[in-house]
Chain A
């Protein structure tokens, strides 16, 4: 075969780079394993919107297949000739970087976003304007609404007094806002549109009978109570001015500590 002969002659030229050819194959395999691990363990939910599960799984399989072909080619000693490519990195650099990141990611699991991130990104109860139509599909029974359902409902009809007296049963993590009095905490959740990078926190202020110090930030709580309308201080997300605003507040009756759920985020 003519082709085989020509490939052989290539391989003899590329021999000095022998360890480098392995890095490409290992980078592909390690990323395939990493994505497969995320897909199987469900950890992908901490990173991206579940809609893209198929993409992640598909990529994992493709990467593993490409990696195996590459290893097979290396073992068969037919290295490619790609000298025509304009290269920015020295050979093996990009793959090396990918390999290091994949190994680090296999060792260090992704972290659940914390109250610290929520405070940094600025909590909001009105920025979900684009999902307003969904408000009409949420559970009609107030006590069956989740935290995100409540926010959608309020966005669809932003009149706090209209919900006064409705029973509520919601879960989320604890957030302490400086501008709120000591007997208030924020019950929050992160909402993901595309991936963890764009996750933003939403929340409902909760009025406690005790001090909020009893519930440290980031603990997960399930709170039963009744909705009331109150005028409370609220901080503007953009210019950080604190103004008094009429808001919907959950007056807590029963508070139960719960373990961090397997999928702690809400998805848009």
Chain B
């Protein structure tokens, strides 16, 4: 009973520390999605695959979204005609390379600055590399899931009126229902509301607010799961077992990568989860958790399946897992 109460306290401690960052992440990602004009952004992206991937990895700074938020954004980017190099590197890097995640990592691991720095560096390198690798395939549709690829084609051939050709049920983005038709919110603003500034502001509030509630509820639910798993492992798994796994260089990295894939905790707050293993696991394995977790986990695979073919997801997973393993292994010899 005492042990259970202890686990509950640790569980609460994780939640209370993570809640402000989760809230901040949700508020920012909801607001910036409305304030940044994706079309203008796309027009300015470099065409060269390497530069595109390198820049795509940094776009996360403009869209501070974690794993759940970045898939809809990446889908919109692909639909808008962005190259796969940019979209994939954005998808992989955005959950790590954004101000809130860097801040929360700093709060958790401020006493080990190298973890914070290399988390960003490794994530950026992996995202750029994977983005470049997939840019070799010129025909985007080969990468994409059939139903998604079909939607891509009409968009490319008939740029001016995409909303008319695609079923509104399949389209991502926010919509306004107007005279029996659903219109994308962005075009609705630009045509109807932009003329009156006060109305424009009011109309943005409702979708902004709905997005906040939706993401908070979903990511919060995931956070509850992740925190519960961390607390249970800390209290109920024998210390000898954890230590024997956590002190060996290779097994500790592999164990933390597996844990990252299973736990699926949001990248904004995953540092606090990793912190509960800081005393028993090697630094390099914590780094592996922090780099691998935001890119691939059960939750994000589920979301990515709505864009990519299963085969492509397997390629990505293998590539990212190997790169993470090699990078963190090298790190373990230097730090």
Residues from chain A with a CB closer than 8 A to the CB of B217 are 24, 27, 92, 94-95, 98
Kindly name the residue among A6, A95, A105, A198 whose own CB sees the greatest number of chain B CB atoms within 10 A. A198
Residues from chain A with a CB closer than 8 A to the CB of B13 are 46-48, 110, 195-197
Residues from chain B with a CB closer than 8 A to the CB of A85 are 72, 211, 214, 218
Known A28-B216, A93-B221, A94-B220; contact A194-B302, beta-carbon cutoff 8 A: no
Asked whether B120 is an interface residue with its Cβ less than 8 Å from the other chain, the reply is no
Residues from chain A with a CB closer than 8 A to the CB of B17 are 47-48, 52, 194-195, 197
Query: When the two chains form their complex, are residues B239 and A120 in contact, meaning their CB atoms are under 8 A apart?
Result: yes
Asked whether A88 is an interface residue with its Cβ less than 8 Å from the other chain, the reply is yes
Asked whether B15 is an interface residue with its Cβ less than 8 Å from the other chain, the reply is yes
Known A113-B9, A117-B6; contact A197-B14, beta-carbon cutoff 8 A: yes
Known A27-B217, A63-B23; contact A81-B10, beta-carbon cutoff 8 A: no
Main secondary structure of the interface of B (DSSP, over half): helix
User: Chain A: interface residue count, which band?
Assistant: 35 or more
Asked whether A220 is an interface residue with its Cβ less than 8 Å from the other chain, the reply is no
Contact of A95 among B3, B107, B221, B222 (CB under 8 A): B221
How many Å lie between the Cα of A98 and that of B222 in the bound state? 10
How many Å lie between the Cα of A266 and that of B144 in the bound state? 53
Over the window 164-193 of chain A, the binary record of Cβ atoms lying under 8 Å from chain B Cβ atoms (1 yes, 0 no) is 000000000000000000000000000001
Query: When the two chains form their complex, are residues B220 and A2 in contact, meaning their CB atoms are under 8 A apart?
Result: no
Contact of B199 among A3, A56, A93, A94 (CB under 8 A): A3
Task: Find the B residue at minimum CB distance from A93.
Answer: B221
From residue B239, how far is it (CB to closest CB) to chain A in Å?
Answer: 5
Asked whether B161 is an interface residue with its Cβ less than 8 Å from the other chain, the reply is no
Over the window 202-240 of chain A, the binary record of Cβ atoms lying under 8 Å from chain B Cβ atoms (1 yes, 0 no) is 000000000000000000000000000000000000101
Residues from chain A with a CB closer than 8 A to the CB of B219 are 94
Over the window 62-105 of chain A, the binary record of Cβ atoms lying under 8 Å from chain B Cβ atoms (1 yes, 0 no) is 11001001100100001011101111110011110110010011
Asked whether B299 is an interface residue with its Cβ less than 8 Å from the other chain, the reply is yes
Residues from chain A with a CB closer than 8 A to the CB of B212 are 66
How many Å lie between the Cα of A62 and that of B239 in the bound state? 39
Asked whether A55 is an interface residue with its Cβ less than 8 Å from the other chain, the reply is yes
Over the window 9-24 of chain A, the binary record of Cβ atoms lying under 8 Å from chain B Cβ atoms (1 yes, 0 no) is 1100000000000001
Asked whether B143 is an interface residue with its Cβ less than 8 Å from the other chain, the reply is no
Asked whether A42 is an interface residue with its Cβ less than 8 Å from the other chain, the reply is no
Known A52-B107, A194-B107, A198-B278; contact A44-B16, beta-carbon cutoff 8 A: yes
Query: When the two chains form their complex, are residues A81 and B9 in contact, meaning their CB atoms are under 8 A apart?
Result: no
From residue A124, how far is it (CB to closest CB) to chain B in Å?
Answer: 9
Query: When the two chains form their complex, are residues B218 and A121 in contact, meaning their CB atoms are under 8 A apart?
Result: no
Residues from chain A with a CB closer than 8 A to the CB of B68 are 86, 88
Residues from chain B with a CB closer than 8 A to the CB of A111 are 2, 5-6, 8-9
Asked whether B275 is an interface residue with its Cβ less than 8 Å from the other chain, the reply is yes
Query: When the two chains form their complex, are residues A70 and B303 in contact, meaning their CB atoms are under 8 A apart?
Result: no
Residues from chain A with a CB closer than 8 A to the CB of B275 are 193-195, 197-198
Contact of B272 among A63, A195, A238 (CB under 8 A): A195
Considering only residues 115-141 of chain A, those with a C-beta below 8 Å from chain B are 116-117, 120-122, 130-131
Asked whether A146 is an interface residue with its Cβ less than 8 Å from the other chain, the reply is no
From residue B149, how far is it (CB to closest CB) to chain A in Å?
Answer: 18
Query: When the two chains form their complex, are residues A195 and B221 in contact, meaning their CB atoms are under 8 A apart?
Result: no
Asked whether A108 is an interface residue with its Cβ less than 8 Å from the other chain, the reply is yes
How many Å lie between the Cα of A28 and that of B199 in the bound state? 27
Asked whether A150 is an interface residue with its Cβ less than 8 Å from the other chain, the reply is no
Query: When the two chains form their complex, are residues A81 and B279 in contact, meaning their CB atoms are under 8 A apart?
Result: no
Residues from chain A with a CB closer than 8 A to the CB of B3 are 116
Query: When the two chains form their complex, are residues B15 and A82 in contact, meaning their CB atoms are under 8 A apart?
Result: no
How many Å lie between the Cα of A197 and that of B27 in the bound state? 26
Contact of A98 among B111, B214, B221 (CB under 8 A): B221
Query: When the two chains form their complex, are residues B213 and A80 in contact, meaning their CB atoms are under 8 A apart?
Result: yes
From residue B117, how far is it (CB to closest CB) to chain A in Å?
Answer: 16
How many Å lie between the Cα of A113 and that of B17 in the bound state? 17
Please tell me which stretch of B174-182, B251-259, B317-325 contacts chain A, meaning at least 4 of its Cβ atoms lie within 8 angstroms of it: B174-182
How many Å lie between the Cα of A112 and that of B5 in the bound state? 10
How many Å lie between the Cα of A125 and that of B230 in the bound state? 26
Contact of B20 among A27, A55, A78 (CB under 8 A): A55
Task: Find the A residue at minimum CB distance from B27.
Answer: A62
Task: Find the B residue at minimum CB distance from A85.
Answer: B214
Considering only residues 168-223 of chain B, those with a C-beta below 8 Å from chain A are 171-178, 192, 199, 202-203, 206-207, 209-214, 216-222
Contact of A97 among B202, B224, B240 (CB under 8 A): B224
Interface set of A (CB-CB < 8 Å, partner B): 2-3, 6-7, 9-10, 24, 27-28, 31, 35, 38, 44, 46-48, 52, 55-56, 58-59, 62-63, 66, 69-70, 73, 78, 80-82, 84-89, 92-95, 97-98, 101, 104-105, 108, 110-111, 113-114, 116-117, 120-122, 130-131, 193-198, 200, 238, 240, 268
Between A and B, 29 residue pairs with Cβ closer than 8 Å are A6-B177, A28-B213, A44-B16, A47-B13, A52-B17, A52-B107, A56-B19, A59-B19, A62-B23, A63-B19, A66-B213, A70-B209, A80-B206, A81-B177, A84-B174, A85-B214, A88-B222, A88-B303, A94-B221, A97-B224, A110-B8, A113-B6, A114-B2, A120-B239, A131-B111, A194-B107, A195-B13, A195-B275, A197-B231
